[in-house]
Each structure stands twice: as C-alpha cells, then as structure tokens.
C-alpha cells in the first residue's frame, strides 16, 4: 500500500499536470483568431472579442495595418484575402491575434478598408476620380449614391479593435460658442488638429452621444468622423477629402449616417446603432 506521502505527491503532481494542461488550453484559446467563409457568402472575422462580417469580394480591399505581419518568410503586408487563401499567413495571424479581448492588454487590430462596388472593384474605378458624382452603390455598408454627399469624396474606413486610445478623441476643452450648424469646436486654435462635436439631439436618426469629427487644420486635405462602441473597445472611422476645408459643413450629416451604416454592416452581431 502506498504511503500517505506518496499519495500526496501523486495528488500534487496530478493537480499540477491538470493546471498545466488547462493553462495550455487557455493560451491556445487566447490565440485563436479566425477568418472563415459563411454559407451566405460573407466572411466572419473573430478577433479580440469581436465578430466582424465582410463580403468575400471585399477581402482584397481590406488591409491589416496593425499588427505588422510577425512571421517570416514570407514578409508581406497582408490583406484579408491573404488570411483567407494563404494557409501560412492564416496560421501566423490566427496564432498571433487573440480571439478574446483582454482589458489593458497589449494586443490590438487595425484594418484599413477601401470602398468598392458590387463586384469588388475599387472605388472610384478606372479613369474615375473621387470628386466625380457617384453612380453605383458602395460597400461595405451598401451605400447608395443618395446616401453620400455629391461628389462623395470618401477616402477610406478604418477599424480599430482593442485600441486603448479609442475613447480620447474629441475630449479636448470646448473653445467658443457653437457655429450656425450646431458644431462645437474643441482644443486650442493654434494646434494643427481641429476637433468638432455635434450634440446627439442634432444628429440624424436615434443617437445618445455627440458626433466626433477630426480635421487636420485649415490647409488639411482630409477630415475623419469617429464612431465608438459603448465600451470603447472598438471604433470605426470614415475619412473623406476636403480640399477647401473651412470648418464644419452640412454634408457632414451624410457622412455620419453613412459611417453608422457601415458599422452596422460589419458588426452585425451587435445591436444596430451601438457605434456612435
């Protein structure tokens, strides 16, 4: 018969082994991001606690800006199409991007999205310019020409997942009175970046938070509208060209509703309208 000491050692060893196996499983689960095809023709990306959905036609138009591709060879700047079709790229990204969001963790994901037409061809198309009228629907978001300014002038959309800097935009001190459209300027006039907010009560649709728009300066060529999830763990921004920027415009309201429609199409597992 085994001694009590031996039984204790066996028990402790078994507990340690179980703990190690459990830890290994948890580590594996924490690095299990995935990109899969769904039966309805969409792609489902699971990463950092979010489920995101895209058309497969758009996979070649969605670049992974961050994290930088960590596996060599090959050394590439991957798109979702590489993640979907290249097993080596998929294995690397699945292993290095967690599927679950860890508060205060160091992992994040940034996707840069170029808009495209129904067949996946990039906007504005061969021989076209962004300052020309839009004749067809754009994706993601299924944006009809009437849902964007004319010309639309849009540049790109960007998703940030697990980015700790998401909640800080448009929180600079208020500067001056609201303008004729209701926009409130923030920050210091001498700074190169201008921040604007529009109260939720003056936005189109049903919203509970102010609109946030960031422009480089009065010589800037781009402005960006920022939407955030309620827990600030994710954001979506829509950027457009503004070559004659002189402050807020009435057309910003269309960019606001368009950006929310894009967010709803991507984060369709969340309640519609969460991203504001």
| Residues 157, 112: Cα–Cα separation, whole Å | 6
**Is the confidence at residue 13, as pLDDT, over 50?**
no
Tell me which of 89, 107, 125 is where a domain ends.
107
244 domain residue, yes or no = yes
Cα dist. 149→131, 184, 251 in Å? 10, 22, 6
**C-alpha radius of gyration, the chain, whole number:** 23
Q: What is the reported pLDDT for 31?
A: 63
Residue, of 16 and 272, whose pLDDT is higher = 272
Number of independent structural domains in the chain: 2
56 and 164 fall within a common domain? no
Q: Are 161 and 204 contained in the same domain?
A: yes
* Of 50-59, 96-105, 197-206, 232-241, minimum mean pLDDT range: 96-105
| Domain stop point among 107, 126, 143 | 107
Mean pLDDT, the chain, rounded, equals 85
> Which pLDDT score, from 0 to 100, does residue 208 have?
94
Residue 123 located in a structural domain? yes
Choosing from 80, 107, 134, the residue where a domain stops is 107
pTM for the predicted model, two decimal places:
0.85
Could you give the CA distance from residue 135 to residue 151 in angstroms, rounded to a whole number?
A: 10
């Amino acid at each position: 018969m085994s001694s009590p000491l031996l039984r204790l050692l066996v028990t402790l060893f078994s507990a340690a082994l179980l703990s190690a196996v459990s830890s290994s499983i948890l580590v594996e689960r924490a690095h299990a991001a995935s990109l899969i095809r769904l039966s309805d023709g969409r792609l489902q990306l699971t990463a950092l606690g979010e489920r995101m959905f895209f058309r497969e036609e758009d996979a070649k138009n969605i670049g992974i800006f961050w994290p930088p591709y960590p596996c060599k060879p090959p050394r590439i700047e991957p798109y979702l199409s590489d993640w979907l079709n290249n097993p080596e790229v998929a294995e690397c990204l699945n292993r290095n991007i967690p599927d679950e969001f860890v508060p205060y963790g160091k992992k994040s994901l940034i996707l840069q999205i170029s808009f495209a037409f129904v067949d996946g061809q990039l906007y504005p198309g061969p021989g076209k310019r962004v300052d020309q009228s839009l004749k067809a629907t754009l994706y993601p978001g299924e944006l009809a020409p009437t849902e964007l300014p004319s010309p639309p002038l849009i540049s790109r959309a960007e998703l940030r997942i697990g980015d700790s800097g998401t909640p800080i935009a448009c929180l600079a001190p208020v500067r001056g009175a609201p303008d004729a459209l209701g926009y409130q300027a923030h920050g210091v006039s001498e700074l190169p970046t201008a921040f604007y907010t529009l109260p939720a009560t003056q936005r189109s649709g049903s919203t509970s938070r102010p609109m946030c728009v960031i422009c480089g300066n009065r010589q800037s060529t781009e402005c960006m509208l920022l939407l955030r999830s309620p827990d600030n763990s994710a954001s979506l921004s829509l950027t457009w060209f503004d070559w004659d920027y002189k402050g807020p415009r009435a057309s910003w309201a269309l960019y606001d509703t368009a950006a929310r429609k894009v967010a709803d199409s991507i984060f369709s597992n969340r309640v519609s309208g969460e991203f504001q």
